[in-house]
């Protein structure tokens, strides 16, 4: 597109999204007025759910297309700022929106690995990858691998890695959609998943990358507005200044002072001893498996037999029996988790702002940060977004904008955590159990907060409160005393975060199969319209498989996501970066590097999670720390002992290194 046309187009987009933001604010304000006039919480929840999904669907319908370049890369006419927003919401998942502040609350300094890891990757992306991918100017990452290294094998490995990495991530997003909708609107988990998926599909199905892009921009606006309001309010409440990012230093000081006082508090020590006892009991039960599992089950069944029908106790026992581990293996898993929690609670609180004090802790912190950074710069659904800008220049600036929009949320997350923690330490610890604030009772009822008088003194001790990660963001509106509308807004924001990521992942996987596998390898003779049709059909199939797997609510989901980063770090990132920066890199080197990276990482993931493998004390979520260097070393060695890439390939590398002559955006391909 010519410059003038591009400017006019950007201006039009700014107008559209400006109006959209205004309408959204009006929508929230009118619900707020409705609430004060007596509109029930249930209808507010419905309004947010159907209102936002309706908007996404409408964007999907308006952006419907069957043109190949539009379907795969949004016509390459997404201006830098908008591609930045779309990348930001593509990138930020339910875990960033709801879980991250909670992880910071629970882990203190250690949690900062997520903050640095998930932003620092964008520097790698901007400097080493994004502009060159745009200059290359095809549709997918496997496209790049084949073009750069030659032959179908690099493409095949690329397809396989893209599917593994994206699918693990997709299941986590679908689960997030189900939890958010079911919690806020009170519909069953499965119905929530179905509803959310239909929102996703209307979008990607009709308009591919084009619809996904413009929806993601809309979703970014909702999620960032939703994230800011509660934390600004609580900052104002606790410090008198509505700028949380500057003010939570005060909250950190409160936390440090109060926690220090708790270390030698007699009542706290009492509670910690109770936890120690509990941990020891569980440890004995785990040692006694499988007999202890049989015994516990038998006891519950006997109790049930000896209780009269109609006795209120009976329902309790029935529930306990229903929740009881189904097998001895399940018991081992559950009891070990409970034992670890009890052990953690039996220790005095450690400083919230201090880094890990032992070498193993520091090494794991650095390793995790590294895996998250490199993994971020290697996730195919993020890399793909940089094909959609009109020019190389815009791709560079779009990487900067993407990081800026992500930064707005990540800069704020630690404030959520600090304010919540200082609130708990100030207004809950030391209160009587009879005087629990309403928000605690509410979230305790759904199991996000558990609070029990362990030493029987009627007063709440810090060690008696267990808060799940999700509770921090969800409960902040109530801690700050905001109306229910804000809680609904948070739900809409979390849903936007989960849906936008799921959209990006689905389209990446569908492209990997329809474009990379079917069109490029199996049947290159199909017409462009058939290609798009196959892509659309695959979206439905993949979404259905994802929803099916999500319906099992596997306990391993959080780890799956972390592993996806390690796998991306150990496969895609080295292959793409070496392809651009090392002219001598050849097919043999890149392919063997990717295979070794994938195998080493998979070996350590499975070994450390299930079979007690441990190298240098590294935890399973930082598995990529071994696969990544293995990939690079193998790739460099093998490429040096095999013939150099052909002259054409070397010229190809030269050609992607500078912007001149890039495919122009916004023209029919």
Partner 1 sequence: MVTKEIIESYWRENKALMYLIMLIWFTVSYVAAVFASALNNISIIGFPLGYYMGAQGSIVTFVVLNYYYSMKMNQLDQKYGLQED
Binding site for partner 1 (CB under 8 A): 109, 112, 115-116, 119-120, 122-124, 126-128, 131, 245-247, 249-250, 252-253, 353-355, 357, 362, 365-366, 369-370, 391-393, 396-397, 399-400, 403-404, 407, 410-411, 414, 654, 657-662
In the complex, least distance from residue 428 CB atom to partner 1, rounded to whole angstroms: 23
Note the helical H segments in 37-150.
41-62, 68-73, 80-91, 94, 100-107, 112-124, 130-136, 141-149
Among 193, 211, 216, 202, residue whose Cα is nearest residue 86: 216
d(CA 589, CA 639): 4
Nearer to partner 1, 247 or 496 (CB): 247
In the complex, least distance from residue 646 CB atom to partner 1, rounded to whole angstroms: 17
Coil, helix or strand at residue 496: helix
d(CA 55, CA 456): 52
Among 566, 611, 574, 567, residue whose Cα is nearest residue 590: 574
Nearer to partner 1, 123 or 286 (CB): 123
In the complex, least distance from residue 355 CB atom to partner 1, rounded to whole angstroms: 4
In the complex, least distance from residue 535 CB atom to partner 1, rounded to whole angstroms: 29
Coil, helix or strand at residue 52: helix
Nearer to partner 1, 75 or 137 (CB): 137
In the complex, least distance from residue 415 CB atom to partner 1, rounded to whole angstroms: 9
In the complex, least distance from residue 657 CB atom to partner 1, rounded to whole angstroms: 6
Q: How many beta carbons lie within 10 A of that of residue 406, not counting itself? A: 25
Nearer to partner 1, 253 or 336 (CB): 253
Nearer to partner 1, 293 or 352 (CB): 352
Q: Write out the two tokens for 332.
A: 């081992």
Nearer to partner 1, 111 or 488 (CB): 111
Nearer to partner 1, 101 or 479 (CB): 101
Q: Which DSSP string corresponds to 146-194?
A: HHHH-SHHHHHHHHHHHHHHHHHHHHHHHHHHHHHHHHHH---HHHHHH
d(CA 459, CA 455): 9
Among 88, 79, 68, residue whose Cα is nearest residue 138: 68
In the complex, least distance from residue 351 CB atom to partner 1, rounded to whole angstroms: 9
Cα angle value 185/211/520 (rounded, 5°)? 120
In the complex, least distance from residue 407 CB atom to partner 1, rounded to whole angstroms: 5
d(CA 391, CA 45): 42
Nearer to partner 1, 51 or 659 (CB): 659
Nearer to partner 1, 305 or 660 (CB): 660
In the complex, least distance from residue 372 CB atom to partner 1, rounded to whole angstroms: 11
Contact, 663 vs 137, CB < 8 A? yes
Residues whose CB is less than 8 angstroms from the CB of residue 661 and which lie 6 or more positions away in sequence, other chains included: 655
**Per-residue CA distances from 194 to 43, 175, 202, 387 (Å):** 20, 11, 12, 31
In the complex, least distance from residue 382 CB atom to partner 1, rounded to whole angstroms: 14
Torsion, CA 10, CA 14, CA 15, CA 21, rounded to 10? 160
Nearer to partner 1, 201 or 576 (CB): 576
In the complex, least distance from residue 219 CB atom to partner 1, rounded to whole angstroms: 21
Torsion, CA 303, CA 305, CA 311, CA 315, rounded to 10? 70
Q: How many beta carbons lie within 10 A of that of residue 160, not counting itself? A: 16
Q: Which DSSP string corresponds to 324-379?
A: S-SSHHHHHHHHHHHHHHHHHHTSPPPPSSPPPSSHHHHHHHHHHHHHHHHHHTT-
In the complex, least distance from residue 349 CB atom to partner 1, rounded to whole angstroms: 16
Classify the C-alpha dihedral 77-79-85-88 as positive or negative.
positive
Nearer to partner 1, 120 or 624 (CB): 120
* φ/ψ of residue 363, rounded to 5: -60, -45
Q: Which DSSP string corresponds to 261-326?
A: HHHT-HHHHHHHHHHHHHHHHHHHHHHTTTHHHHHHHHHHHHHHHTS-TT-HHHHHHHHHHHHS-S
Nearer to partner 1, 55 or 373 (CB): 373
In the complex, least distance from residue 352 CB atom to partner 1, rounded to whole angstroms: 8
In the complex, least distance from residue 600 CB atom to partner 1, rounded to whole angstroms: 22
The residue behind tokens 């920066």 is: 581
Nearer to partner 1, 458 or 661 (CB): 661
Residues whose CB is less than 8 angstroms from the CB of residue 312 and which lie 6 or more positions away in sequence, other chains included: none
64: left (phi over 0), alpha (psi -120 to 50) or beta: beta
Among 190, 198, 192, 200, residue whose Cα is nearest residue 552: 190
d(CA 559, CA 547): 18
Coil, helix or strand at residue 449: strand
In the complex, least distance from residue 391 CB atom to partner 1, rounded to whole angstroms: 5
Contact, 609 vs 563, CB < 8 A? no
Nearer to partner 1, 129 or 428 (CB): 129
Nearer to partner 1, 30 or 253 (CB): 253
In the complex, least distance from residue 247 CB atom to partner 1, rounded to whole angstroms: 8
Nearer to partner 1, 212 or 252 (CB): 252
């Amino acid at each position: 597109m010519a410059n003038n046309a591009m400017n006019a187009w950007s201006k039009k987009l700014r107008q559209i999204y400006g109006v959209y933001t205004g309408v959204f604010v009006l929508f929230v304000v009118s619900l707020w007025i409705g609430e004060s006039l007596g509109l029930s919480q249930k209808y507010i929840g419905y309004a947010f759910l159907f209102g936002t999904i309706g908007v996404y669907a409408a964007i999907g319908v308006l952006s419907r297309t069957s043109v190949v370049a539009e379907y795969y890369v949004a016509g390459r006419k997404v201006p830098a700022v908008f591609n930045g927003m779309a990348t930001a919401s593509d990138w930020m998942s339910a875990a960033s929106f709801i879980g991250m502040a909670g992880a910071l609350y629970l882990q203190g300094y250690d949690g900062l690995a997520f903050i640095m890891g998930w932003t620092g990757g964008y520097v790698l992306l901007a400097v080493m990858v994004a502009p060159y991918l745009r200059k290359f100017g095809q549709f997918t990452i496997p496209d790049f691998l084949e073009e750069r290294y030659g032959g179908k094998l690099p493409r095949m490995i690329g397809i396989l890695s893209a599917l593994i990495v994206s699918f693990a991530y997709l299941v986590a997003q679908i689960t997030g959609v189900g939890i958010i909708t079911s919690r806020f609107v009170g519909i069953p988990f499965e119905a929530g998943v179905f509803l959310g998926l239909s929102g996703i599909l209307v979008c990607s199905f009709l308009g591919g990358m084009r619809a996904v892009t413009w929806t993601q921009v809309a979703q970014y606006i909702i999620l960032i507005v939703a994230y800011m309001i509660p934390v600004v309010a609580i900052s104002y409440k606790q410090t008198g200044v509505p700028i949380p990012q500057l003010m939570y230093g005060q909250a950190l000081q409160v936390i440090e002072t109060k926690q220090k006082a708790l270390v030698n508090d007699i009542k706290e020590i009492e509670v910690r001893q109770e936890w120690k006892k509990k941990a020891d009991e569980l440890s004995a039960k785990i040692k006694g498996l499988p007999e202890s599992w049989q015994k516990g089950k038998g006891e519950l069944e006997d109790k049930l037999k000896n209780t009269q029908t109609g006795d209120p106790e009976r329902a309790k026992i029935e529930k306990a029996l229903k929740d009881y581990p189904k097998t001895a293996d399940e018991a081992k898993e559950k009891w070990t988790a409970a034992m670890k929690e009890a052990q953690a609670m039996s220790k005095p609180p450690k400083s919230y702002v201090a880094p890990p004090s032992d070498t193993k802790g520091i090494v794991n912190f650095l390793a995790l940060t590294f895996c998250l950074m490199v993994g971020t710069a290697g996730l195919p659904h993020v890399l793909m977004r940089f094909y959609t800008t009109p020019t190389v220049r815009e791709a560079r600036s779009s990487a900067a904008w993407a990081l800026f929009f992500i930064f707005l949320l990540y800069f704020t997350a630690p404030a959520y955590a600090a304010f919540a923690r200082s609130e708990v330490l100030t207004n809950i610890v030391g209160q009587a159990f009879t005087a629990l604030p309403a928000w605690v009772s509410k979230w305790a009822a759904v199991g996000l907060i558990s609070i029990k008088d362990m030493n029987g003194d009627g007063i709440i001790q810090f060690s008696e409160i267990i808060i799940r990660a999700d509770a921090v963001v969800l409960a902040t509106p109530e801690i700050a005393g905001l109306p229910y509308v804000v809680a609904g807004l948070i739900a809409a924001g979390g849903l936007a975060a989960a849906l936008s990521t799921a959209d990006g992942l689905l389209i990446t996987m569908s492209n990997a199969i329809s474009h990379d596998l079917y069109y490029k390898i199996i049947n290159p003779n199909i017409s462009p319209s058939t290609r798009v049709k196959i892509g659309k059909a695959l979206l439905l199939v993949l979404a259905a498989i994802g929803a099916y797997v999500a319906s099992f609510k596997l306990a391993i989901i959080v780890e799956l996501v972390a592993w996806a980063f390690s796998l991306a770090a150990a496969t895609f990132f080295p292959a793409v970066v070496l392809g651009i920066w090392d002219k001598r890199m050849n097919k043999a080197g890149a392919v063997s590097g990717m295979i070794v990276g994938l195998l080493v990482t998979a070996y350590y993931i499975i070994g450390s999670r299930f079979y007690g493998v441990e190298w240098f004390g590294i935890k399973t979520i930082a598995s990529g720390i071994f696969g990544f260097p293995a990939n690079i070393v193998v790739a460099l060695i093998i490429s040096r002992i095999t013939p150099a890439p052909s002259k054409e390939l070397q010229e190809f590398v030269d050609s992607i290194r500078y912007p001149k002559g890039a495919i122009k955006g916004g023209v029919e391909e």
